[in-house]
């Protein structure tokens, strides 16, 4: 401390947790408010013969040392130091675990018959006699017949719809041509998705985690024709969008009641299965934006979706399609049943000190290491001298090692040796280093 001649002094306060620049800005605002309040009171006192207040206060930050340099009269200095003592504290952290569960089942079935009869005259002109050309599986019998008339010896298999497809017909230059196409298809699919994004952040600090892919979507295309080679595509414009899991969260710890106020924005998206008739990729997106109050270590559901949807479709020829049994030749039917269950849960855990953070970190670390050890540690293909990497024990890295383990951890950078061939053990213990006594200090000179 350096006393000043006017009774004030200057002090340097090294901060432990708070940011010096941010705190200096807040303190200057506080001091200006105090000075303005004191100045207003002093103006009334001056009319009665009082003295002007001492306003010699200066606060600035030294970011290199994260320190405050404060110049102020003793009374204001004590007030400023009291404020700094209450603000320069260790802030708690919050571990937020989101759980996204999605279970869906899809069932569909199709059954349809297409037929066509036409007559071809001597001039190879086709005269339709009768047709039921309702597309089955997005493929009509008319398109198949046209392909066969162009080249009856070679039909592109890609034109046939998926599923069981049976067909018969006659395609000649003269006479009556006919074609019949029968298609039956049934499909079942199920989805079971479990996502658990996790993130740690300071109290009242926004955090974000993104686990996504940049998927290209076509937004424009320029084509030109008339060249010798045929149609060309000089360029295509593409816009990339993130597809995956995105979690934004801002926690606020409520003092004394061990509850956490969470401001959450959660998004999960994925590419949908290819849909017939779609010109580009289709994405499924689920978004939640909400505020919730949760107990420390508790779990709460943020929201979800439960849907059960059934669709039926039938196309038929009037009158003929209503005839029992025979009417099946004049109709196409399809049906589908979709069920989807989607729920999002959240679980916050307050980490008040380094020990709490170490406990959670060690638990997550050991989960990943145990998964590595559970896999066979065979040699890398075509590299017999190489083995897959394995995380070292947490005791080698963490300062909060379990004292019951005993032994001295190896030096940083050492890795447990690989087991020999035929050794079924999944992990190896590292031998403790030999402790050496420090050299004796030379006696001080007389």
The per-residue pLDDT for range 379-431, each reduced to its tens digit, is 777 888 888 888 898 888 876 555 444 444 444 334 444 444 444 444 434 44
Percentage of residues of the chain with pLDDT beyond 90: 23
Whole-angstrom Cα distance, residue 312 to residue 333?
8
**pLDDT surpassing 50 at residue 78:** yes
**Which residues, including other chains, have CB under 8 Å from residue 356's CB and lie 6 or more apart?**
350
Return the higher-pLDDT residue of 144 and 222: 222
CB 411 within 8 Å of CB 430: no
In the chain, what is the straight-line distance between the N-terminal and C-terminal CA atoms, in Å?
Answer: 37
Nearest in space to 128 (alpha carbons), one of 137, 119, 141: 119
What residues contact residue 233 under an 8 Å CB cut-off, 6+ apart? Answer: 221, 222, 223
154-181 pLDDT per residue, tens: 555 555 555 556 666 666 666 677 777 7
> Between 240 and 431, whose confidence is greater?
240
* Helical spans, DSSP H, in 179-331: none
Looking at residue 329, its pLDDT comes to: 78
Q: Is the pTM of this model over 0.85?
A: no
Indicate the SS3 state at residue 350: strand
- Give the whole-number percent of the chain exceeding pLDDT 70: 64
Q: Would you state the pLDDT for residue 389? A: 86
Give the contacts of 273 (CB within 8 A, at least 6 positions apart). 189
Residue by residue, DSSP assigns 389-419 as --PPPGGGT-SS--GGG-S-PPPTT--PPPP
Position 140 pLDDT exceeds 80: no
Site of tokens 């071809």 = 120
- Which of residues 147 and 339 earns the better pLDDT score? 339
User: Which of 371, 405, 363 lies closest to 390, judged by CA?
Assistant: 371
CA angle at 349 for the pair 344 and 351, rounded to the nearest 5°: 150
> Would you state the CATH architecture of domain 2-89?
2-Layer Sandwich (3.30)
Per domain, the residue ranges of the chain are 2-89, 95-104+189-315+334-351, 106-187, 363-405
The whole-angstrom distance between residue 213's C-alpha and the CA centroid of its chain comes to 9
**pLDDT at res. 3:** 46
* Element holding 291 (H helix, E strand): strand 283-295
* Cross-strand pairs, 333: 111, 314
Query: Which regions of 299-419 does DSSP assign to beta strands (E)?
Result: 300-316, 331-351
Length of the chain: 446
Cα–Cα distance for residue pair 166/144, rounded to 1 Å: 13
pLDDT digits (tens, 9 = 90+) for 193-219: 888 999 999 999 999 999 888 888 888
Rg (CA), the chain: 38
For the chain, the farthest-separated pair of C-alpha atoms sits apart, in whole angstroms, at 131
* 201 close to 249: Cβ distance less than 8 angstroms: yes
Highest mean pLDDT: which of 6-10, 113-117, 120-124, 293-297?
A: 293-297
């Amino acid at each position: 401390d350096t006393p000043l001649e006017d009774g004030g002094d200057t002090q340097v306060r090294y901060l432990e947790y708070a940011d010096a620049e941010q705190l200096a800005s807040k303190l200057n605002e506080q001091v200006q408010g105090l000075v303005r309040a004191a100045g207003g009171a002093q103006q009334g006192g001056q009319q009665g013969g009082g003295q002007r207040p001492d306003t010699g206060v200066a606060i600035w930050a030294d970011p290199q040392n994260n320190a405050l340099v404060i110049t102020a009269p003793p009374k204001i200095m004590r007030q400023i130091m009291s404020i700094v003592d209450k603000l320069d504290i260790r802030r708690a952290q919050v571990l937020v675990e989101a759980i996204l569960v999605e279970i869906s089942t899809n069932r569909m079935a199709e059954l349809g018959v297409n037929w066509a009869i036409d007559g071809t005259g001597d001039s190879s002109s086709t005269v339709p006699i009768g047709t039921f050309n309702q597309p089955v599986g997005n493929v009509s019998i008319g398109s198949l017949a046209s392909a066969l008339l162009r080249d009856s010896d070679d039909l592109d298999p890609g034109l046939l719809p998926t599923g069981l497809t049976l067909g018969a017909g006659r395609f000649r230059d003269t006479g009556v041509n006919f074609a019949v196409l029968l298609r039956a298809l049934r499909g079942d699919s199920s989805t079971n998705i479990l996502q658990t994004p996790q993130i740690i952040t300071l109290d009242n600090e926004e955090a974000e985690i993104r686990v996504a892919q940049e998927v290209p979507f076509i937004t424009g295309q320029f084509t030109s024709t008339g060249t010798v080679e045929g149609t060309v595509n000089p360029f295509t414009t593409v816009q990339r969008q993130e597809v995956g899991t995105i979690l934004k969260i801002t926690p606020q710890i409520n003092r004394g009641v061990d509850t956490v106020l969470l401001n959450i924005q959660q998004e999960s998206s994925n590419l949908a299965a290819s849909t017939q008739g779609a010109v580009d990729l289709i994405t499924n997106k689920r978004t939640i934006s909400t505020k919730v109050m949760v107990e420390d270590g508790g779990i709460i559901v943020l929201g979800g979706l439960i849907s059960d949807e059934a669709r039926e479709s039938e196309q038929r020829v009037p009158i003929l399609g209503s005839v029992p049994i025979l009417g099946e030749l004049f109709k196409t039917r399809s049906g589908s049943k979709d069920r989807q269950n989607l729920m999002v849960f959240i679980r916050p855990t307050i980490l008040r000190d380094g020990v709490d953070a170490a406990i959670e970190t060690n638990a997550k670390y050991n989960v990943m290491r145990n998964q590595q050890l559970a896999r066979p540690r065979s040699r890398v293909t075509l590299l017999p001298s190489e083995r897959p990497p394995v995380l070292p024990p947490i005791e080698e890295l963490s300062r909060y090692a379990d004292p019951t383990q005993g032994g001295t951890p190896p030096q940083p950078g050492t890795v447990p040796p690989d087991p020999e061939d035929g050794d079924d053990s999944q992990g190896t213990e590292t031998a403790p280093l030999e402790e050496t006594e420090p050299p004796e200090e030379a006696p001080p000179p007389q």
